[in-house]
Amino acid sequence: MRIGELARRTGCDVETVRYYEKEGLMAVPGRDAAGYRLYATRHLEDLQFIRHCRSLGMRLAEIKLLLDFRHDPQQDCDRVNTLLDAQIVRVEEQRRAMHTLLEQLHLLRAECASRQQVAECGIMRNLNQAAKGERCLCHE
């Protein structure tokens, strides 16, 4: 199949497929007489593997490692576990950060209920206090 069909079947952009090839994630495909890329089932599955890992928030460098494991299943899977653990820690940290952020934003938002002049706005007052190094609501 050509790149368009591959892209359609994986829900991936054509440009993205070429990008993955350039980055060394996708195996270099064959070419037809016109120079068009020709893909086989192997490529389709690798691409789906990549997209699935991306949907789990993994980085391309990590996916490259996982692809190596996928293509050489004799290896010890210890590093797969380590990689996943690191990913979990990273996402956990991000979620915590988002949570803190939300609390701060809600506190700040509550400072201005109605439409008024900026000079009277509780949100801007808080932000301006922070700018002066004073205490503000959102960063205790």
Partner DNA sequence: TGGAAAGCCTATAGTTGCTACAGGGTCAAT
Partner DNA sequence: ATTGACCCTGTAGCAACTATAGGCTTTCCA
Contact footprint for a second copy (CB under 8 A) = 45-46, 48-49, 52-53, 55-57, 66, 69-70, 72-78, 80-81, 84-85, 87-88, 91-92, 94-95, 98-99, 101-102, 104-106, 108-109, 112, 115-121, 123-124, 127-128, 130-133, 136, 138-139
Residue 36 binds which one of a second copy, DNA, none, with CB within 5 to 8 A depending on kind?
A: DNA
Residue 107 binds which one of DNA, a second copy, none, with CB within 5 to 8 A depending on kind?
A: none
Residue 43 binds which one of DNA, a second copy, none, with CB within 5 to 8 A depending on kind?
A: none
d(CA 80, CA 67): 11
The correct pick among 10, 24, 27, 33 for binding DNA (CB under 7 A) is: 33
Residue position matching structure tokens 């928030």: 57
- By three-state DSSP, how is residue 31 classified? strand
d(CA 102, CA 22): 38
> Residue 113's Cα: distance from chain center in Å?
35
- By three-state DSSP, how is residue 38 classified? strand
Residue 80 C-beta: closest distance to a second copy, Å: 5
The correct pick among 9, 10, 19, 27 for binding DNA (CB under 7 A) is: 19
d(CA 23, CA 19): 6
- By three-state DSSP, how is residue 37 classified? strand
Please identify, using beta-carbon distances, which residue of 31 and 116 lies nearer to a second copy: 116
- Asked whether 63 and 54 are in contact (CB, 8 A), the reply is yes
The reply to whether 43 sits near DNA by the rule CB under 7 A is no
